[in-house]
Structure 1
Amino acid sequence: MKLLVSALEPSSNLHLASLMKHLEGKVELMGIFDSKLSTKPPLYTPDQFSVMGFLDVIERLGFFWRAKKEMAHLASEADKILLMDSSSFNIPLAKAIKKAFPSKEIIYYILPQVWAWKPWRAKAIEESCDFLAAILPFETACYQSKAEYVGHPLLDLLPPIRTSLPKEERIAFMPGSRKGEIGRLFPVFREVARRIEAPKTLVIPSIYEGASLEEIYGDLEGFELSYDAPKTLLESSFAFICSGTATLEAALLGIPLVLAYKARPLDYFIAKNLVKIEHIGLANIFETRRGEEPLHEELLQEGVNVEALLEAYWRCDKEHFVERAKALRGYLRKGSSLRVAQRILEIDSKVIFNDG
């Protein structure tokens, strides 16, 4: 089976790797994905789509248009299409493929957050796609009939939740994966680290292995360095984390944390006026959606300062956090890769019938 994949984000490719454990030897990948996931080279790799903020997107519109056109053409060779996250690229791509090849099955895994902004996209997604693999239990309510809750992909990657706090205090710092967010957050995190008497570990994204870390982070004195986020988090008693999936990862492992988010002023202004949600941390969104209080503190923009971060650290009831994290993990229940793999490998009943 030939599977056309559009996975533009590094996180999407982690989840695609989990999916491939169930699909190995059964599918041939085509399209946009990490080259390590296939012996055949992709059309494009995720790093070619790396952008930060609305201005970066505008500057590269021509490239995105050409890539979408090439992917739609490549769909002619595919048996099925798998879209992952990246709604600005994948929704127009789904429309183009469905228009050109109406019988091709399109599966959308890691759906756009229509519950947070642009809810009208739900109709367009359902018209262009055949199966919507929802990774949040409340997402299915946004659609008429094609959405199924399949579990959360992080639970395919993470070890079991930690049941107790470590005996010794150890702090993890995760200032993000993009150089821009690292440049805005890490100087503040560095000063926070100097004010805490405990071992400190800086988690560095694997994409920077072999790079000049001083050029990216600046002064690293006082930090142990790690490229293994789950291992570091499990060894830590608290974490300071840039907004993103890492905050949910920490919560699902039972690691108390504070979320910090500091964007360029224009990007923050645009996002604040477009996205209508009370919280930006996924764990907090889940908790408030099911009628609970937010799980952890969130500090945004000018609120991201040394004193505020330290106050959040000292204020945190760590044992209470661990108990609530267990309930959150139970809410999500399971991983999602097996169910999505099953859908990809399903053979249409008409084909079975015609084969006798």
Structure 2
Amino acid sequence: MKSCLLIAGEKSGEEHGLSFFSQLRNLQPDVKFFGVGGDELEREGLELIYHLKDFSTWGISEAIKKIPYYYKALKRIEDEVERRGCKTAILIDYQTFNLKLARRLEKKGVKILYYVAPQAWAWKEWRAKVLEKCVDTLFCIIPFEKKWFMDRGVSKAISIRHPLLDHYEEDLKGFFRQKKDLEKDEVNLLLLPGSRNFEVFGLLPNYVSVAKKLKEKFNVKVSIVKSSSVSVHGYEPYAKVFDKEYTNDELTVALKEADICLAASGTVTLACALYEVPTIVGYTGSLLNEYIFYQFVKYKGFISLANIVHNKEVFPELVTPYVTEYNILKRALRLFENHEHYNEVMDTLATTVKTISGEDISIPEYMSKKISESYEK
């Protein structure tokens, strides 16, 4: 029986897989799909060799303890591929594990389709060499990645629509962002200080101070999206500052009503770009993360997803220790008082959907063709 391996070793990978798996199965009804995934992929017809929960770890120490388990899993999957005569493997994200697996499977002549390119342009550039040697097709969600990887020898790279667009596309239908005169109009300033305690405790005090200064000078209303995963003590001291509060589930409502935003770095910055909200981005990490970043990461480019996909600074970025009231306020005032700059930002944000829409290609049909070709040889 024809078979195809699929590896989605974490929840985000399963969500990526669900975007194409059902249609792929319909196109290849005679192919048995097996591998690693979660409950949803199993319901769609994936035979689980491992459940993605088997691969989850919390913290560095647990990950180290689990290394022997991962190597046993690599060997078992490799043996299953050989036993089933599998010719194609779809490896979704989960870079550390999947790159090791790709090396092993390539030696057995398995065609590797790698879905969601690792950010080798940011750190561990050597991964591009592994992909060059092992991968038949690399699927990229950041627009510039296709050229970056192909310039480094990857034979085939495809630019695909960013998964976040799938999440917001329906809500964005019919949405139109009206430009404002921030100096004269009423302005809704939205605070998005993050979903982790260290982010909120690190960013919110300065964000609130800036909000107060802006309220003194302009007609500003202040709103905030509060995360249920953050201690209430992170928000309580500033309760009187907020004119409106939103929950996590109300993020899209908050973004539609916002005119300018102060946000923590993360995927939310791309959501801000999709809803065309000029944003100032702050990054504060745990002490361990900051140490690792400054000691080992050579990447000196953009940190916010919105700037990365546009490949230029659309949103000002401030990284610890530069996330100060003075620096944030300076960049906010430029948006309020420099109309030309504000209009340039808004014009760029209006192109975000198009920028991350990817090539006009059907992923299920492309993968189906690759599976069929692998059995024609």
Place the TM-score, normalised by the shorter chain, in its bin: 0.7 to 0.9
Identity of aligned residues (%): 20
Give the secondary structure class of the aligned counterpart of 1:158. Answer: helix
Are residues 115 and 313 of structure 1, via their aligned partners in 2, closer, same or farther at CA, if it must alter by over 3 Å?
same
- Shift in alpha-carbon separation, 1:16–1:198, aligned structure 2, 3 A: farther
Instruction: Give 1:254's match in structure 2, choosing from 276, 279, 286.
Output: 276
The verdict on how the C-alpha distance between 1:214 and 1:92 changes in structure 2, with shifts beyond 3 A counting, is closer
SS of the residue 1:97 aligns to: helix
Count of paired positions: 333
**TM-score between both structures, scaled by the size of structure 1:** 0.76
User: Aligned equivalents of 1:320 and 1:108: distance in 2?
Assistant: 36
Which protein shows a greater Rg? 2
The Cα shift of 1:298 comes to 1.1
| SS class of match (1:98) | helix
- Name the CA distance, whole Å, in 2 between partners of 1:260 and 1:56: 30
For residue 342 of structure 1, what is the amino acid of its counterpart? E
The 3-state SS of whatever aligns with 1:81 is: strand
Match of 2:105 among 85, 97, 106: 97
Q: What residue is the counterpart of 2:161 in the other structure?
A: 152
**CA distance change for structure 1 residues 286 and 55 in 2, over 3 Å: closer, same or farther?**
farther
- Structure 1 residues 190 and 140, CA, compared in 2 at 3 Å: closer, same or farther? closer
Query: What are the superposed Cα offsets for residues 126-165 of structure 1, whole Å, 9 maximum, x if unpaired?
Result: 2222211223343233332522233232333332474325
Q: Distance in 2 between matches of 1:32 and 1:217?
A: 40
Specify the code of the residue in structure 1 equivalent to 2:132.
E
**Aligned runs of 1:1-356 on 2, under 5 Å?**
2-20=3-21, 22-23=23-24, 25-26=26-27, 30-39=34-43, 42=48, 43-45=50-52, 48-49=55-56, 51=58, 57-58=63-64, 60-76=66-82, 77=84, 80-99=88-107, 101-102=108-109, 104-141=110-147, 142-143=149-150, 144-153=153-162, 154-159=164-169, 160=172, 162-165=176-179, 169-173=188-192, 175-176=194-195, 182-191=196-205, 192-193=207-208, 195=211, 198-202=221-225, 204=227, 213=229, 215=231, 218-219=234-235, 223-227=245-249, 229-272=251-294, 273-288=296-311, 293-316=312-335, 318-334=342-358, 339-346=362-369, 347-349=371-373, 351=375
Q: 1:298 to 1:345 in 2, by over 3 A?
A: same
Q: CA deviation at 1:26?
A: 4.8
SS in 2 for 1:38: helix
Identify the residue that residue 179 of structure 1 maps to in structure 2.
none
Q: CA RMSD in A?
A: 3.6
Q: How many Å apart are 1:185 and its aligned residue?
A: 0.9
1:40-72 C-alpha deviation (Å, 9 max, x unpaired): 6742226953556x6664454344334434443
Q: Is the 8 A contact 2:203 2:323 kept in 1?
A: no
8 Å CA contact retained: 1:173, 1:189: no
Q: Distance in 1 between matches of 2:315 and 2:208?
A: 19
- CA drift at 1:105: 2.1
1:234 and 1:344 map into 2 onto residues whose CA distance is 37
Which consecutive residues of structure 1, in runs of 5 or more, have no partner in the other structure?
A: 177-181
**Alpha-carbon distance change, 296 to 198 in structure 1, aligned in 2, over 3 angstroms:** same
After TM superposition, give the deviation of residue 304 of structure 1 in Å.
Answer: 3.0
For 2:373 and 2:179, the matched residues in 1 are separated by 51
TM-superposition CA deviations, 1:311-334 (whole Å, max 9, x none): 444443554322111234434443
Residue 247 of structure 1 and its aligned partner are, at CA, apart by: 1.8
Deviation at 1:79, TM superposition (A): 5.6
Distance 1:334 1:234, change over 3 A: farther
How far has the Cα of 1:9 moved from its partner? Answer: 4.4
For 1:2 and 1:310, the matched residues in 2 are separated by 58
Structure 1, 156-165 or 139-148: larger mean CA deviation? 156-165
Partner letter of residue 15 of structure 1? H
1:13, 1:33 within 8 Å by CA — same for their partners in 2? yes
- Structure 1 SS opposite 2:188: coil
The CA distance in 2 between the partners of 1:29 and 1:145, in whole Å, is 26
8 A contact 1:29–1:38 mirrored in 2? no
Describe the shift of the 1:350–1:214 C-alpha distance in structure 2 as closer, same or farther (beyond 3 A): closer
The DSSP-based 3-state class of the residue aligned with 2:19 is: helix
Going from structure 1 to structure 2, the CA distance change for 1:351 and 1:106 (only over 3 Å counts) comes to closer
